[in-house]
A and B are shown apart, each in its own frame.
Chain A
Amino acid sequence: ETGVTQSPTHLIKTRGQQVTLRCSSQSGHNTVSWYQQALGQGPQFIFQYYREEENGRGNFPPRFSGLQFPNYSSELNVNALELDDSALYLCASSRLAEEGNEQFFGPGTRLTVL
């Protein structure tokens, strides 16, 4: 069974640029959630995708957008990067409404905005 994978591991961008982060779900999972974790804080929910549709969104502006593909992999896109977007971005996959909706996390992508 393959776990959740994310790419790239690290990324450095400048303010105003756009970035795409990628996530591959654990085998058999149909839901992907994205989180932003600033240093020293708990992860903050960005949004969740279920069967290619957005299924909930946290308090993040529209310049944070996402996609889920038929194979349940996912992308997180951030436009017009700001310095405060520097964080660890985590994705998690689960089987919604099954197995207690236990979330399994990937290793994260460290984004630095200069």
Chain B
Amino acid sequence: KQEVTQIPAALSVPEGENLVLNCSFTDSAIYNLQWFRQDPGKGLTSLLLIQSSQREQTSGRLNASLDKSSGRSTLYIAASQPGDSATYLCAVYNNDMRFGAGTRLTVKP
């Protein structure tokens, strides 16, 4: 059974800092991995999708990597801003999508 873990559960950083969020999964047989952002009480916004054959994806200040063999992915956020404050979720897809519990990020002005 696929299990997804995100570390840390919460993170608080000053504005401008670069940061890394971690995601690990137990079964490397995945079709893709997706990173999402969720604001309180809202739906999920897709940030980056990495297909199983890819190693990384970039969008603006975000970079996500995937190492299937070790069951790990990282989301790198450069030059963090207060507007980046949200919960970040990773999810892996095979026959269904399994989510981690998320990392709650606070960026202080």
Point out residues on A near B: beta carbons under 8 Å. Answer: 4, 6, 33, 35, 40-45, 48, 56, 58, 88, 90, 92, 100-108, 110
Q: Give the CA-CA distance A6 to B44 in the complex, in Å.
A: 13
Distance in angstroms between the alpha carbons of A35 and B99 in the assembled complex:
10
Chain B contacts to A: CB under 8 angstroms: 4, 31-32, 34, 36, 41-46, 49, 51, 89, 91, 93, 95-102
Q: Report the minimal beta-carbon distance from A62 to chain B, rounded to whole angstroms.
A: 17
Interface centre among A40, A42, A92, A100 (most CB of B within 10 A): A42
How would you classify the secondary structure of chain B's contact residues: helix, strand, loop or mixed?
strand
What are 9 sample pairs from A and B whose C-beta atoms fall under 8 A apart? A6-B43, A41-B101, A42-B100, A43-B99, A45-B96, A100-B51, A107-B42, A107-B43, A110-B41
A105, B99: Cα distance in complex, Å = 14
Is A45 in contact with B98, judged by CB distance below 8 angstroms?
yes
Quick one: which of B44, B51, B95 contacts A43, CB cutoff 8 A?
A: B44
- A6 proximity list for chain B (CB < 8 A): 43
For A58, A90, A104, A105, the residue with the greatest tally of chain B CB atoms inside 10 Å of its CB is: A105
Given A42-B102, A58-B96, A88 and B41 contact (CB-CB distance below 8 Å): yes
Chain A residues near B34 (CB-CB < 8 A): 102-103
Add 8 more A-B contacts to A45-B97, A102-B34, A103-B97 (CB < 8 A).
A42-B89, A43-B97, A43-B99, A44-B99, A88-B41, A92-B44, A92-B97, A105-B45
Tell whether A56 pairs with B99 under 8 Å between CB atoms, given A103-B34, A105-B43, A105-B46.
no
Distance in angstroms between the alpha carbons of A13 and B45 in the assembled complex: 28
Residues of B within 8 A of A35 (CB): 97, 99
Bound form: Cα–Cα A42–B95 in Å: 18
Residue of A nearest to B90 (CB): A42
Contacts of B96 in A (CB 8 A): 33, 45, 48, 56, 58
